[in-house]
Amino acid sequence: MKVLEDELDARKKELETPNAELDSKKNELETPNAELDSKKNKSSVTIAKFNAQNKNRVNARTKELEVSNTKLDDQKKEIETSNYKSAAQTKEFEA
């Protein structure tokens, strides 16, 4: 019985050594994984910021263009009115 226990203890020690080595390798791999996850999270935040800035810029530019279009529409109406008046004056002179 003592021999069997000794053999079991010896086998247990044999298995514990590779187990410790595997734990060490696991820890070595987990550290870079954690660093990569951190970088991924930072990248996601940066991308979200850029997207928000881009959206704000696009919205601002759209508003600028809308204002510009309104001004151009007003100028067009003024020119059309002026042309109408000129046409009316021309008819008066011809009459």
Read off the pLDDT of residues 8-25 as tens digits, 9 standing for 90 and up: 888 887 777 777 888 888
Whether residue 82 has pLDDT greater than 80 = yes
Rounded to an integer, what distance in angstroms lies between the CA atom of residue 55 and that of residue 53?
5
Read off the pLDDT of residues 37-69 as tens digits, 9 standing for 90 and up: 999 999 999 999 999 999 999 999 999 999 999
Q: How confident is the model at residue 74 (pLDDT cuts 50, 70, 90)?
A: very high
Task: State how far Cα 15 lies from the chain centre.
Answer: 48
To the nearest whole number, what is the mean pLDDT of the chain?
Answer: 90
Confidence (pLDDT) at 64: 97
Name the residue ranges covered by the structural domains of the chain: 1-70
Classified as helix, coil or strand, 14 is: helix
